Chain A
Amino acid sequence: MKAPGITHARSTSALLYLSGVSVSFDGFKALNNLSLLIEPGEMRAIIGPNGAGKTTMMDVITGKTRPDSGEVVFDGRADLTKLDEANIATLGIGRKFQKPTVFENHTVRDNLLLALAGMRGWYQLLMAAPSKAENDRLEEILSIIRMGPQQHMLGARLSHGQKQWLEIGMLLAQNPKLMLVDEPVAGMTDVETETTAQVLREVNKSHSVVVVEHDMSFVRALGVKVTVLHEGSTLAEGSLDQVSADPRVVEVYLGR
């Protein structure tokens, strides 16, 4: 499906370009003149205290929330402020939610099948039989997320950790250019957290990734550039060691 509304908003080599983005809810400025640049192939960790605007930023990028002002450009050509969720997903932005939302009445395999890149038109799906290529891809993803044995289990019966894995699997199935991953290790054990970091580094070889996370040891394990958000705008940017040495960041995190 061709996404309508692709405008040559701005030419930039960045995969994702946010400039001067502001969003307010009833006077509360969730995002305040936020700018952010993600290069193709990059993995970026976004940290910040509660209410810093991390989730609102995700909402703006995926079309759930319209910004009051500012530019959001994907892939140097698509103006995301003019597109809706389905268009943006088709362009190649996938999102994993903070609270895992898998389809509870579908099996693990069907969850992945629904996420699988490609068919989205209702008339196609009426007649579609799963192709060999699709089945192979499903097997591949099932083995990456280590859920082969659970593939016929209903989403509702999975444990919290398994749901997180399935979500990551669904992102892989969607095969987006850019993955937005919101708190992937919330509620995970240390071992699971470690494995998740490995999987994300693996995924980053073929996809650009933006990870929002509170867990500092996880961010350290990722070992990528970090952006610190505070009160809706960028406070600091750099390696984890650089930003944690920044007195402003320390102040925001520890209070004054």
Chain B
Amino acid sequence: MVTRFLWQGMTRNLRLFVLLVLAVGILVPLSNLLLPADSAFRMPSWAVQLVGKYLCYASLALAVDLVWGFCGILTLGHAAFFALGGYCMGMYLMRQIGTRGVYGNPLLPDFMVFLNYKELPWFWHGFDSFWFAAPMIVLVPSVLALALGWFAFRSRVTGVYLSIITQAMTFALLLAFFRNDMGLGGNNGMTDFKDILGYSVQSDTTRAVLCFASALALAVFLVISAAIVGSRFGKALTAVRDAESRMRFLGYRVERYKLFVFVLSAAMAGIAGALYVPQVGIINPSEFSPGNSIEAVLWVAVGGRGTLIGPVIGAFIVNFGKTWLTGALPEVWLFALGALFIVVTLLLPKGVVGLWNQFMNRSRERRARAAA
């Protein structure tokens, strides 16, 4: 039954795309590990790390698309769920440092010693074990999404008001996490990680595995999202997006549909954040900044809202552009981002994937005409 469920949404294009994602996640790290250093096909370590980072962003974009593209909830705070997953991972990684910290305290992370903490805050207990941290990575963002969604959807907060609430949520978290007495590293956040599951986070092998894990997570999210979107639930979901009150009059409890995808999407974002942190080596409150959430929405818009492949492509295109421009012409990046937003809204309402589909349809018609 579960296999049938997972299989029902897999169109041919999507199957190929999932294979492509997995191929990237396998070939990029393998080329780094196996090929000799002077080979032209060898990916340098920084590139493996970069691809791993992009894959995490792509998962975040897919999570945003699931609620925005398929259910019409324009979330402007999804980076908060990403960051919360990241913080859970960061707490685990901090506890792994142990006595190798600057102060050599076996229990307290460096920043706590520095801030004169005498004992570990209660919410840090358990994070020394990966098997405690792993479920937290999913639970913490989900529970926040459940609480926010429960009140917002039940009170029928929709449209721009909901966007504002999600934006306010991530901003509130940003301010909270900046505080030193929050016990999560204040504005410096957490960094100087050493090990993950006993392997050094700096080593090429660990990076390779993390890059593959990010690809695997994205592939799994794609399959799950496709199954949901392709099911009868998915039909109801897009119907809620298009005509919410009509669905109520048909007897659907619209708020439950919204809540389910919102929570699922938050969990996906949390996992993506947790995979992101060991690859970039730091987590700090700036991850909560409203701009991050808006950028994630932009990735989806560029790639193609309401498609499954679109957000992944959008995340790669925009972030590649960002990496390149912030290196080559750092002062131009924000202008480019603004321009991109305008261009996509005006000229590409269905994003890159929409453009591609349009092109394919046209050439198909031309061929049909030529044949006739």
A126 to B104, CA, bound (A): 51
Could you say which of A89, A97, A113, A120 contacts B235, with CB atoms under 8 Å apart? A113
Q: Is B365 an interface residue (CB 8 A)?
A: no
Q: Does A108 contact B (CB under 8 A)?
A: no
User: In the assembled complex, which residues on chain B have CB atoms less than 8 Å from the CB atom of A106?
Assistant: 235, 238-239, 242
Known pairs A90-B251, A120-B252, A125-B231; A85 contacts B236 (CB<8 A): no
Q: Which residues of A contact B248 (CB under 8 A)?
A: 84-86, 89
B256 touches A114 (CB 8 A): no
Instruction: Say yes or no: is B228 at the interface (Cβ < 8 Å to chain A).
Output: yes
The count of A-to-B residue pairs whose CB atoms sit within 8 angstroms is 74
Beta-carbon contact of B242 and A105 below 8 Å? yes
Which residues from 102 to 147 on chain A have a C-beta closer than 8 Å to any C-beta of chain B? 103-106, 110, 113-115, 119-122, 125-130
Which size class do B's interface residues fall under?
Answer: 20 to 34
Whether the pair B249, A85 counts as a contact (CB closer than 8 A) is yes
Closest to B247 in A: A114
B251 touches A174 (CB 8 A): yes
Contact for B5 among A62, A64, A127, CB less than 8 A? A127
Q: Which residues of A contact B247 (CB under 8 A)?
A: 114
Assembled-state Cα–Cα distance A119/B257 (Å): 13
Contact check, A114 vs B257: say whether CB atoms are below 8 A apart: no
Chain A, interface residues (CB within 8 Å), range: 20 to 34
The complex places the Cα of A105 from the Cα of B249 at a distance, in Å, of 18
- A128-B243 contact in complex given A86-B248, A105-B238, C-beta closer than 8 Å: no
A163 an interface residue at 8 Å Cβ cutoff? no
Q: Which residues of B contact A89 (CB under 8 A)?
A: 248-251
B250 touches A114 (CB 8 A): yes
B362 at the interface (CB under 8 A from A): no
Contact B253–A125 (Cβ < 8 Å): no
**Complex Cα spacing A120 to B256, Å:** 10
- Chain B nearest Cβ from A19, distance in angstroms: 24
Interface residues of B in 245-270 (CB under 8 A from A): 245-254, 256-257, 260
Q: Known pairs A128-B232, A130-B232; list 9 more (Cβ under 8 Å).
A: A84-B248, A85-B249, A101-B243, A104-B242, A106-B239, A120-B252, A121-B256, A122-B253, A122-B257
